[in-house]
C-alpha cells in the first residue's frame, strides 16, 4: 500500500485538481492523507466534498503550524509501505506511482526516489521548461547545488521504515524539502527518476518567492549540515557556502530588488571561495533554486 500526504493551506484554487491527479493514478492501492493546516479559505469545504465519495481519503485538521509540521503529522498517520509527498498545487501524471514502484521492486537496495519536473503555470499549461537532476553522489550534489536537484517534495517517495528517524524540520518552510532530501541522502540510497511525471506549478507570489524566508531557511540548512558533520572537508564546506551565497546574492540583486543585499552575498561568496570569481567572469555558475 502507498500513503500519499498533501499539506494544505489556503489552496482552494488548485486542491481539487491535485487530489484528482491522485484519484486518476493507474495504481489504485493507496490512501490519501490531507492535512489541513488551518486554512481560512474554501479548501476545507472542497476537500470534505471530495472525501464524501472516496473512502481512501482521510482528513486531518490542525491549527496553522506550518508545512513541515503538517507533513510530519501525515507521516505519523500513514499506514503504507511507501510514503509519497504531494504539494497542494502540483499535479501527478497517471503513471507516477506505478513508475516509482517499479523502481523500488526492481532494485531492493533503493530507499527513496526523486525526479525531474515539468513546469506548468497557474492555468495548468505547460511551460517550456523541464528541471532535471542526477543521482551521481546525491548528498554532495545537493550541497553544491549541482547535479541532484530537489525542486519539490512532490517528486519524493520513500520506504516507510526510512522515516523512523527522519522528519521535516518544523523551523523550515521554503527549504524544508532540501533539508529533508539532505537527511535522506546522508543515510539512505537514493535514485533519480528522469521521466517528468510531476507537474510543478509556478505561481506568482508563491512561498518560493518570499526571498527573506528563502534566505533565512537556506542559511539554516547549510549551518545544520555543518553541525551534523556532513561536509566531507573544510574546503568542500567553503565551496558549498560560496555557491549558496552566489545564489542568494543573485536572487536579491535580480528578483528581490535589493542591490545592497546582493553585493553583501557576492562578497561573502568570494570570501568563502575566492576562486569562484571565475564563475562570474565566465557568466556561469550554479542555478538559482528559487522558481
Statement: residue 286 has pLDDT above 80: no
The mean pLDDT of 111-118, rounded to a whole number, is 96
Q: Which letter, b or e, does each residue of 175-209 get, where b requires 16 or more Cβ atoms within 10 Å of its Cβ?
A: bbbbbbbbbbbbebebbbbeebbbbbbeeeeeebb
Its pTM stands at 0.91
Q: Do the Cβ atoms of 168 and 71 come closer than 8 Å?
A: yes
Cβ atoms within 10 Å, residue 235: 10
Q: What does the pLDDT look like over 264-283, one tens digit per residue?
A: 999 999 999 998 887 665 65
Q: What does the pLDDT look like over 75-100, one tens digit per residue?
A: 999 999 999 999 999 999 999 999 99
Q: Do the Cβ atoms of 172 and 217 come closer than 8 Å?
A: yes
Burial of 268 (0-12, 13-18, 19+ CB in 10 A): middle
The residue with cell 524566508 is 213
Q: For the chain, which residues make up each domain, given as ranges?
A: 2-205, 231-281
Cell numbers given for 69: 509540521
Helices (H) and strands (E) in the chain, counts: 10, 9
CATH number for region 2-205: 3.90.550.10
Question: What is the SS3 assignment for 179?
Answer: helix
Q: What does the pLDDT look like over 149-191, one tens digit per residue?
A: 888 999 999 999 999 999 999 999 889 999 999 999 999 999 9
Amino acid at each position: 500500500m502507498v500513503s500519499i500526504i498533501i499539506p494544505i493551506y489556503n489552496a482552494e484554487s488548485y486542491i481539487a485538481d491535485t487530489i484528482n491527479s491522485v484519484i486518476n493514478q493507474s495504481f489504485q492501492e493507496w490512501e490519501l492523507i490531507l492535512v489541513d493546516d488551518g486554512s481560512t479559505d474554501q479548501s476545507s469545504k472542497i476537500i470534505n466534498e471530495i472525501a464524501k465519495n472516496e473512502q481512501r481519503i482521510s482528513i486531518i485538521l490542525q491549527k496553522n503550524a506550518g508545512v513541515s509540521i503538517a507533513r510530519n503529522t501525515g507521516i505519523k498517520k500513514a499506514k503504507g509501505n511507501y510514503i509519497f509527498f504531494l504539494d497542494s498545487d502540483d499535479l501527478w501524471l497517471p503513471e507516477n506511482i506505478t513508475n516509482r514502484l517499479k523502481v523500488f521492486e526492481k532494485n531492493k537496495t533503493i530507499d527513496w526516489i526523486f525526479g525531474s519536473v515539468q513546469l506548468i503555470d497557474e492555468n495548468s499549461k505547460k511551460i517550456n521548461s523541464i528541471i532535471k537532476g542526477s543521482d551521481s553522489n546525491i548528498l554532495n550534489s545537493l550541497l553544491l547545488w549541482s547535479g541532484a536537484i530537489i525542486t519539490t517534495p512532490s517528486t519524493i517517495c520513500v520506504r516507510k521504515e526510512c522515516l523512523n528517524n527522519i522528519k521535516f524540520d518544523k523551523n523550515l518552510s521554503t527549504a524544508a524539502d532540501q533539508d529533508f532530501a539532505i537527511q535522506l541522502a546522508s543515510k539512505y540510497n537514493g535514485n533519480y527518476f528522469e521521466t517528468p511525471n510531476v507537474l510543478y506549478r509556478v505561481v506568482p507570489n508563491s512561498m518560493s518567492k518570499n526571498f527573506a524566508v528563502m534566505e533565512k531557511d537556506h542559511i539554516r540548512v547549510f549551518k545544520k549540515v555543518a553541525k551534523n558533520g556532513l561536509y566531507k572537508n573544510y574546503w568542500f564546506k567553503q565551496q558549498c557556502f560560496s555557491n549558496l551565497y552566489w545564489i542568494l546574492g543573485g536572487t536579491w540583486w535580480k528578483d528581490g530588488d535589493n542591490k545592497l543585499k546582493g553585493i553583501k552575498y557576492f562578497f561573502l561568496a568570494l570570501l568563502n571561495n575566492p576562486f569562484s570569481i571565475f564563475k562570474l567572469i565566465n557568466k556561469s555558475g550554479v542555478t538559482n533554486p528559487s522558481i
